[in-house]
Chains A and B, each alone.
Chain A
Amino acid sequence: MAIIKEVTEAFVKDLVKNGKRQDSRDFSSYREIRVEKGIIQNDEGSALVQLGDTKVLCGIKFDLMVPFPDRPDEAVVMVGAEFSPMAHPDFEPGPPREDSIELARVVDRAIRSADCIDSSTLPRTEEKVMAIFIDLHILDNCGNLIDAASLAAMAALKNAQVPKINGEGKIIREDFSGPLALKRSAVVCSFEKIAGRMVVDATEEESTASDGRMSIGVTDDGLVCCGQKSGAAGFSKQELLDLIDLTFEKSKSLFKAIE
């Protein structure tokens, strides 16, 4: 299999050097984005995002939890990512590996630092606040999981209904007080640096040929809310600034897709 990887890598790099991509997109185009909200009824919010052939399903569950001592009034947000062995031959069952932890933390940071969730409107008990579990299930890995996952998480949050709390301080499933209040939205755009060029929304083959990845999260009110560089390649200041501009431009269609 190692030889196939080498051949693919050489092939992708060769194409990129000539300004081309396997699927004849230009360097700053996304694949087709499809978002289906509310496809799971047993949870409080869900979304299936397809980015080309990549498929990520996000499900949201609410629970009650003791808040973090330094943030006694804020809802607890937890993002988990499951790289199912169903999604790719290289994914193995077991505890989360570094890639899935990185993905979950990047998505978490984008949502958390953009201050997306309006905690003040959420119900709570005397000692417990709402905990929002955002679970990302990667079903088919055909590249650019971070963008697909951040879209899925945001779309699922927009789809989420807040459950009511009964007199004993327990959540009543299937009885909602209304949609989850969001202050703003955030999405992440990732760029792979291949043969010195920046490629947006890389396919799985393209990411094997990548020297490094830059992921940038932005809000819908024009702020940068998260960043993550991965891989060995370095990025110059100009490259970073250009990518931020490109992220703002590209994010418009992403925000539209999850509306």
Chain B
Amino acid sequence: MAKVLKEEDLIKNGKRCDGRGFEDLRPIIVKAGVLKQASGSAYVEWGRNKVYAAVYGPHEVFPKHMTNNYKALINARYIMAPFSGLDDHSRSGPNRRSIEISKVAKHVFENVVLTNLFPKTMIDVHMEVMQSDGGTRVASITAASVALADAGIPMRDLVCGVSVGKVAGELLLDLDKYEDNLGGSDVPMIFAPRNGDLLLYQMDGMLSKDEVERAYDMALGACKKIRVLQENALKEKYKEVFEKIKGGENGNNQGSY
């Protein structure tokens, strides 16, 4: 990759530097049930982003005094591995950015999870970025939503999202790292695709009202596609479980206990 890219270089002949059109997503792979210890888990590869999500619970609340008698608490944790970025080795653990993202991610899940079904409990949602390339928070929340479904936690919808940004005067869907860093603005959004509710909205840079509306429509359109991938990942996992059970009936259940 060239080191001295400029904003103007990111769009050439109506194409972006990785060959995508303005409203194209990067290739996305979603897998459900990738970790054994967790109640539910998922892995998402989104362009060069690589993200794991794991869900534990509902379980007893810790610390105890936080207990809510009417609903489950949600504890979201978003974190980036020290080797995840292209820049220097960073310190492991949360920083100001990741703490903020954890907070808004928690609010997303509080919206869709039927927390009133599990009073006096807590649901942990862990999201870890192993490799980052722009749009890690939307990739993480997309993964976490699959992990929650994989954990069997009832939800109103499978949430997912994408960011839209303005680069060299054009609105682009799903910004990568270069577009995010050099571009004028970046708007990550998370939706409940079934009713179009906006559950996460963060924005930096300047857009007109018209552009905000277009960004919303672009993102929601893309989310409907991402949601299909999420559903397929969950179906795929249960297909495997089904095969395993079928194998078990033939007395071939070694190693399961």
- A interface vs B, CB < 8 Å? 22-24, 39-43, 46, 53, 55, 57, 59-63, 80, 82, 84-89, 93, 95, 133, 135, 137, 139-142, 171, 173-174, 204
* Set A46, A84, A87: member contacting B83, Cβ < 8 A: A46
Supply 8 further A-B pairs (C-beta < 8 A) apart from A59-B81, A133-B83, A140-B35. Answer: A59-B83, A84-B79, A85-B77, A86-B38, A133-B89, A135-B89, A137-B81, A142-B36
* B133 contacts A by Cβ under 8 Å: yes
Chain B residue nearest to A11 (CB atoms) is B257
Q: List 29 A-B contacts (CB under 8 A).
A: A22-B257, A23-B254, A23-B255, A24-B254, A39-B50, A40-B50, A40-B131, A41-B131, A42-B48, A42-B85, A43-B131, A46-B83, A55-B35, A59-B83, A61-B82, A61-B88, A62-B89, A84-B126, A84-B128, A85-B124, A86-B52, A86-B128, A93-B77, A137-B81, A137-B128, A139-B35, A140-B37, A142-B37, A171-B88
Whether B88 and A42, one on each chain, are in contact in the complex, defined by CB atoms closer than 8 angstroms, is no
**B181 CB, min distance to chain A CBs, angstroms:** 14
**With A40-B84, A41-B131, A93-B77 as given contacts, are A141 and B37 in contact (CB-CB < 8 Å)?**
yes
Identify the closest chain B residue to A53 (Cβ). Answer: B36
Q: Which residues of A contact B156 (CB under 8 A)?
A: none
Q: How far does the Cβ of A12 sit from chain B's closest Cβ, in whole Å? A: 11
Min distance, Cβ B33 to any Cβ of chain A, angstroms: 11
Docked complex Cα distance between A24 and B50 (Å): 35
From B35, B94, B255, A86 is in contact (CB under 8 Å) with B35
**Contacts from B to A (Cβ < 8 Å):** 1, 35-38, 41, 48, 50, 52-54, 56, 59, 77, 79, 81-89, 92-94, 124, 126, 128, 130-133, 254-255, 257
Q: Inter-chain contact count A-B, CB under 8 Å?
A: 99
Q: CA of A89 to CA of B123 in the docked complex: distance in angstroms?
A: 11
Cα-based distance from A93 to B92 in the complex (angstroms): 11
Query: Given contacts A24-B254, A61-B89, is CB(A87)–CB(B35) below 8 Å?
Result: yes
Q: How far is the CA of A43 from the CA of B92 in the complex (A)?
A: 15
Which residues of B are found within 8 Å of A40, using beta-carbon distances? 50, 83-84, 130-131
Contacts A22-B257, A40-B131, A89-B56 given: A135-B35 contact, CB under 8 Å? no
Please, how many angstroms separate the alpha-carbon atoms of A18 and B149 in the complex? Answer: 41
Asked whether B59 lies within 8 Å of A80 as measured between CB atoms, the reply is no
Chain B residues, Cβ within 8 Å of A53: 36
Give the shortest distance, in Å, between A149 (CB) and chain B (any CB).
Answer: 15
On whether A42 and B89 interact (CB within 8 A), knowing A86-B52, A93-B77, the answer reads no
The residues of A that contact B133 with a CB separation of less than 8 Å are: 42
Bound-state CA distance A85–B79 (Å) is: 11
Across the two chains, which residue of chain A brings its CB closest to B43?
A139
Complex: A24 Cα to B118 Cα, angstroms:
38
Q: B128 contacts A42, CB within 8 Å?
A: no
In the complex, what's the smallest C-beta–C-beta distance from A81 to chain B, in angstroms?
9
Q: Write the chain A residue with the least CB distance to B257.
A: A22
- B54: A residues at CB distance < 8 A: 86-87
Q: Which residues of A contact B254 (CB under 8 A)?
A: 23-24
Q: Which B residues are CB-close (under 8 A) to A57? A: 81, 130
Do B89 and A63 touch across chains, with their CB atoms under 8 A apart? yes
Q: Whose C-beta in chain B lies nearest to the C-beta of A81?
A: B92
Q: Assuming the A-B contacts A42-B48, A137-B130, are A89 and B37 also in contact, with contact meaning beta carbons closer than 8 angstroms in the complex?
A: yes
**CA–CA, A61 and B126, complex, Å:** 24
State whether B52 touches A42 (Cβ < 8 A). no
Chain B residue contacts of A87, Cβ below 8 A: 35, 37, 54
The reply to whether B88 and A174 form a contact with Cβ atoms under 8 Å apart is: no
Contacting residues, chain A, for B124 (C-beta < 8 A): 85
Across the interface, which residues of B come within 8 angstroms of A140, CB to CB? Answer: 35-38
For B37, the chain A residues whose CB sits under 8 A away are 87-89, 140-142, 204
